[in-house]
Structure 1
Amino acid sequence: DYKREAFMKAYMQCSNAIQKMEKDLRTACQDPAAKFDDILKALDQLLNSYETTSYGPEKWQKLASFLRQSIDGPILDFVKKQIDHISSEKSSLRLKCRSIEDKMGLLAKQLEASEKYKSDYLKRYEDAINDKNKLAEEYMTRIADLKRNSSSLDERCSSLSKALEASKHESIEWKRKEAKIALEKAAAVQDRASKQTQHREDALRAEIANTIAEKEAEIKDKALKIEQAEQRVTTLSLELKAAESKIKSYDIEISALKSDIKELGERLESANATAQSYEKESRILEQERLHLEQKYRSEFDRFEEVQERCRNAEKETKRATELADAARAEAASAQKEKNEIQRVAGERQTEIARLERRIEGLERLKHDLTDELERFQAAEMDAVSKVSILEARVEEREKEIETLLKSNNEQRATTVQVLEGLLETERAARAEATKRAEALSLQLQATQGKLDSLQQQMTTVRLNESALDSKLRTASHGKRFRVEDNETGTDSVQEIGINIDGGGAVRGNKRSRSMTSPPNFVSTEDGGSVYRGDDYNNNNHSQQTSNEDYTKFTIPKLKQELTKHNFGEELLQLKNPNKKDLLALYEKCVLRKS
């Protein structure tokens, strides 16, 4: 009974210690900030405390089962978690690198596009400047031609106005002379009428003949002058026709210029300003017309006074015609001459009015051309201001592009440094993982050696117990029953045999073989090893089931499986893979390999 109670106490103490160790190890592995060295230290402390506190025949059996379960359970989960965390960090870093490379490519494309836009804009700017210079030269030449033509027309108009004034003065002088002659003749007739009527008549006849001859000569001279004036008028009419043709050509050119001006006005959006300027010009022209009417009104008054004088002269000539028939004929001829002169004066007046109208039209054209010049100058100023603004914008854009390039280069340098640091940390982590895996393998080998020594001790204990059992067979029935129970326990202990050199189970039932099978390790990418478990012998069956259900895997699960089967390089060659690509790679690599 004492032995049984001692065994029960030892069994309970070992089981409690194992449970406590499992809890502590599980909490240590589940800690998010836990490291592999901390877990190994905790496991070493737990083993030391277990060796010092626990005792009994099942002490080392419990310890071996605890080590196997802990390696299969929380330690394996922790190692997988660390590997998954490292792989996720690696994939995230690769994604960041790809995103940074894509951003750099986009920035390079944007820079190329901005450079192309800059070159196109410079070409357009140069073409616009050349077109502007050409237009300015054309307009300057046209304006110079128009100024020359307007100056020539002004000179011709001034010469014509001078000729008209001279003809007016001549007509007035002739009228005065005729009036004086008529008055003198009337006075002579009245003085001599009382004394020598007949002598007077003879003298008058002689004088009339002489005057008629003189008048005929004067009429011939006047006719020559009129012909000359008509020739001048014809030349003036021809010149006016030429001026009209030129004005028509100018009108055509002005229409073309107006079309250009309209286009420029549409571009510059100055229709309202042009309308207002045209209204102002119309008002100014109306004022000029009123001013000209007021100016020429005095001349019209003078002409009316001349007409009144002519009427008075006609009355005097009528009186003279009553006295003498010759005076009547002379008065009639004078009246005819006066009518002709009036007709010529009226024609000249109409021509003067036409010329004044033409002059007004030319002045309007001059004002229009000056306004167009001002508009073109304003358009040039606006274009120059816009060009300066665009140049400033281009400079700002170039500065922004330079700053962006500098920032991109700095970001590249920083990203390269960060990636190098991450690669170094990853390499260090891999080296640490390999070192830890090697240390674990060494520790497992040491524990395996300890288990072998424990097996030898257990065989010696078994021999001792068999000797004790042979001595105690003569005991009571209860004692025998207790001894039989102990024998069954020792038999279960004897059945647990491990052969490390052979790498497999030698004796015992299936349970002992499954418990004493050697640990199976699989090499990973980083050169370490991962413990797979006790069911590795049934790998073909599990692989068949996994091959049947691999289509149900998610994308991270497929990535995990591919990295698990050492196909990480093929996975990294796929950029942004989808599920179909991962399934194809899984079928290509994993299933063919299996």
Structure 2
Amino acid sequence: MMRFFGMGKDSTVDVSPQSFGHSASASASVSSAPVMGPARPVRLLYCDEKGKFRMDPEAVAALQLVKEPIGVVSVCGRARQGKSFILNQVILFIFSVYLGWIFELCLGTYSTQIFSLAVLLSSMFIYNQMGGIDEAALDRLSLVTQMTKHIRVKAGGRTTSASELGQFSPIFLWLLRDFYLDLVEDNRKITPRDYLELALRPVQGSGKDIAAKNEIRDSIRALFPDRECFTLVRPLNNENDLQRLDQILLDKLRPEFRAGLDALTKFVFERTRPKQVGGTVLTGPVLIGITQSYLDALNNGAVPTISSSWQSVEEAECRRAYDSAVEIYMSTFDRTKPPEEVALREAHEEAIQRALAAYNASAVGVGSMRKKYEELLQKFFRKAFEDYKGNAFMEADMRCSNAIESMGKRLRAACHASDASIDNVVKVLDALLSEYEASCHGPGKWQKLAVFLQQSMEGPVLDLTKRLIDQIGSEKSSLILKRRSIEDKMKLLSKQLEDSEKYKSEYLKRYDDAINDKKKLADEYANRMNNLQADYSSLKERCSSLMKAVDSAKQETLDWRRKYDQVLSKQKAKEDQATSEIEVLKSRSTAAEARLAAAKEQAESAQEEAEEWKRKYDFAVREAKAALEKAAIVQERSSKETQLREDTLREEFSHTLADKEEEIKEKSAKIEHAEQSLTTLKLELKAAEAKIKSYDTEVSSLKVEIRELIDKVEKTNAKALSFEREAKILEQEKTHLEQKYSSEFKRFAEVEERCRSAEKEAKKATELADRARAEAVAAQKEKSEIQRMAMERLAQIERAERQIENLERQKTDLEDELHRIRLSEIDAVSKVSLLEARVEEREKEIESLLKTNNDQRSSTVKVLQDLLDSERVAHADANKRAEVLSLQLQAAQAKLDSLQQELTSVHLNETALDSKLRTASHGKRLRADDVEMGVGSVQDIDMSDRILRANKKSRSTTSPVLFSQSGDGGSVFKGGDDNQNPQNSQEDYTKFTVQKLKQELTKHNFGAELLALRNPNKKEILALYEKCVLQKS
């Protein structure tokens, strides 16, 4: 029994392929379709009762939705060796139900045929086997040697070799299950791939047996050039668990088996590529087409040919792409475009591009078939465009002529109006032309417009111009008189202009004298402003030096604040760490309590599950009894109804046959009478022949309808076979078949009515001998077809009897399932006992864990208390340091206040100087007095500078900065004039105190280097001062 592209139970024949499809993104292609509900397996191929291969409509519909590239993986092997389990694990549990469907007619050569189909349609072929590779395993693969007899690459009488088929074969993966051997060759480890290649090496020796063995090995190597081998250990050690492997979680399997399964899954998803034939990647519809072509060849008893099958698929897909491209062109062609050659050509090209894009996306192949349909498509585009263009131009011409007639009427009305003028007529004409240009299109648009303009210029426009010329002549004479009066006024205005120009020249001389006086005054004021600016810049430099001193003091305060913040942050971090450790201990205790509660709940749930298993078993027994009773009732009803139908059909057929024989006798008598009157009907033969042809077409249509009826009956039989397993659906099938038969009886009645009408026409044309003979022949054919239909009805009755036999078999299957349910109940009871024992062990473990946790808690609490005491001591030390730093900050704040007072006094002096400068600039005195005033202002500035220096000296003697502690506990006086030489200051820097050196470094913007030294002594600070300030190397 073979299974192909479906997921199912293991069967009883050596080869049993299973497959699943996935797209290029390594996901299941069938699942990518928008199907609602949980994922489930879909059967692709099956054998009907006649032994013919068929495709399941459900799988075809699902694959039609997969427009992306699709890859196919097939799994085959001996029965009952876990192919379904492996396939479920490889596709990541997409199908979570127990899978199964069985063939019963695929024996003999079917094994080789389906093996050949699996190789042709797969991207990866997995051969599932228990144990290692030996001669028996290679003998089971002897189907490979027979494949060349059932497949051909090209059409012809020559058989195809395995090496020629190798270029179309998939990746071959030999999966060895329950593998227990050590992979060692010549005292060294080898890989599973090496093990496979060693097994496929030719056997040394001669004889028929060795030649047969080598033939199998050569065929495998030639047919599968890309091959790989994987080994899996036994998943479980318990035999009972192996029988229900699909029900066991992966976590309970052996780690070695899980690791090998993960490697296998990774290999399948990395190496499986979309299926290709002839350089073309297969999609879902293309896969359906090539599969159907292979099946047609097998069902007809022929050998599948890869090239001819692919050509038929190419033709079907190209035809479908051609139809879709035609629809897209007709739908996307923009018929709203104006009927202009350029616009229509653009719309035509755009529609062609979209249609060709759709064709290229759907068409398959690159050969002559694709070029043929491309040429047909181009011809269709040209014909459709020319037809539409001709109609559009004709309609546009009609619109242009109508528009020009209305334009002529409106133009004549504008020219004959009472207030008509050239401007008004031009406006009306522009409006008409704009309307015409916007509303009318076509190739003759401008030619008709030119004719219209020529006619309008020679007609109404010419009359209007003549009338306006007469009006302009009368207006010209009146304008000449007005011109003469205006010339007299211009002479008077010219005299007035001469007088005004003389007055203007005198005024300009006065204006130049005033400007010269103004420039002299401006130069004098500019000199005074320059002097004042120089004094202001000297004052500004002094102010900037004072501001730098203030900034250095602020920087020192910021440094102390940073140190204080760092100490506080370290203290907080330690406190947070202690609190977090306490919280971790609390969370551990709560987690242990939660585990206790969870263990108790698991024990309770296990007891509840055992009770539910008992309830399910009772319910299953009841359902099985009810199903058996319903099946018996349905069998009785169906047998009675089939007998009644058979009797009625036989009676109806006997009556119809007797009537037809009587009609034939009557027609033969009429034929004899018609032969006697042939001489009188020669003139009417031509009309009678036309009627004979129409009657023949009606008879052929009746034959086509009868054939369609036969096809529909076959389809209903196929659907009935797919729903055999479910006993409840038999009643629905019964009603469906009754409806089918009733509709067929109605059609027979319609056929009889048509026959009666044909007989009436035959009575009217009794004089035509040839027509009567044709009617007799048609009646005989209908009689034979009716007899054939009766035979088919008898065959359908026999199929119904087979369905009854299948129901009896399903009854036995249900009894087997009941037996399995009883065994599963016993397993459930054993599981419950095991769970109870595990719960007791867990409770004991939890108690021991709680004791150890309590001991750890007591020890950790003691450690934390010691840590808290040490942290409190450190916190007290940090508080003392903070108080010292706050005192230092207060001293720095006092310094800042004194500097602020100095700045305010400087600002007061500056405001006084500004007020003096303003009073000096606004005074109206002579130049000599102004010079004396400027000298006095400079003297005042010098006096103010001296006062400021005296104030600075007096303040410096009282400032605490100049009296600082030295390193040995004494004080050093740093008074003196501000104008000391820099050489003396550089020589005496070794006498500076530590505090003074720090101030100097911060003043020169080297505070960061000073902070980098942790707890420096005076030597280190002096070295830093020499390096940064004095720049000594």
TM-score, normalization: structure 2?
Answer: 0.15
> Which has the bigger relative contact order, CA under 8 A and spacing at least 6?
1
Higher helix share goes to which structure? 1
TM-score, normalization: structure 1?
Answer: 0.24
